[in-house]
A and B are shown apart, each in its own frame.
Chain A
Amino acid sequence: GQNIDQPTEMTATEGAIVQINCTYQTSGFNGLFWYQQHAGEAPTFLSYNVLDGLEEKGRFSSFLSRSKGYSYLLLKELQMKDSASYLCASSSNSGYALNFGKGTSLLVTP
């Protein structure tokens, strides 16, 4: 499999910027997903990176470096509703399966 590593917990202040890192094994790698999940709810899609570089989507941006096996999710102008778990997942070039990390629980404080 493709081991995914991401921090377990992070805390940030409302209005600030936070970066959530994710590393993965590069063997057979195809693309990198980020999902947001509020407690007890289904994961919702945030971004999908296949090529190196930064993709910006409103307050959220995602970066990928294929050679380094590294990605990050950048959240700007944090809001209280951004308190959630953020899941990093890799896809391989051998099929449709997604390999999920254990998620980073983000707490946004006033």
Chain B
Amino acid sequence: EAQVTQNPRYLITVTGKKLTVTCSQNMNHEYMSWYRQDPGLGLRQIYYSMNVEVTDKGDVPEGYKVSRKEKRNFPLILESPSPNQTSLYFCASRGGGEAFFGQGTRLTVV
């Protein structure tokens, strides 16, 4: 079954404690991206990757890092999380057609 898997689904952490949200896809897609979704603001792209070792900033990259060492994995790293990064995060991958989304990670930074 074609899917994008992200973990964890829910995470509560404290300000400044580094965390990683994992994302993996099984469709051999070259393109992967991370979004955050906040009320009234819709989906905003954080980072994207066109292929292995190729990553680029989206619309809201500040405070985030990503890596793409393998085609299937695209982790999102928050080196020093802050409360304004409390949000719902989605990973997505895309071939030539529709984009497939992971289940979402609800992050709360206190």
Contacts and interface: CB of A to CB of B under 8 A. Distances in A.
Q: How large is the interface on A (under 10, 10 to 19, 20 to 34, 35 or more residues)?
A: 10 to 19
B34 interface: no
A58 interface: no
Contact of B42 (A40, A42, A101): A101
- The listed residue with most A CB atoms (<10 A of its CB), out of B98, B101, B102, is B98
Interface residues of B, number: 24
A87 B43 contact: yes
Interface of B is mostly: strand
Contacts, number: 46
A48 B98 CA distance: 7
Contacts of A87: 42-43
B98 A33 contact: yes
A84 interface: no
Contact of B97 (A40, A44, A48): A48
Interface of B: 30-31, 33, 35, 40-43, 45, 48, 50, 88, 90, 92, 94, 97-104, 106
Given A40-B106, A96-B94, A100-B42, 5 more contacts: A96-B50, A98-B92, A98-B99, A102-B40, A103-B43
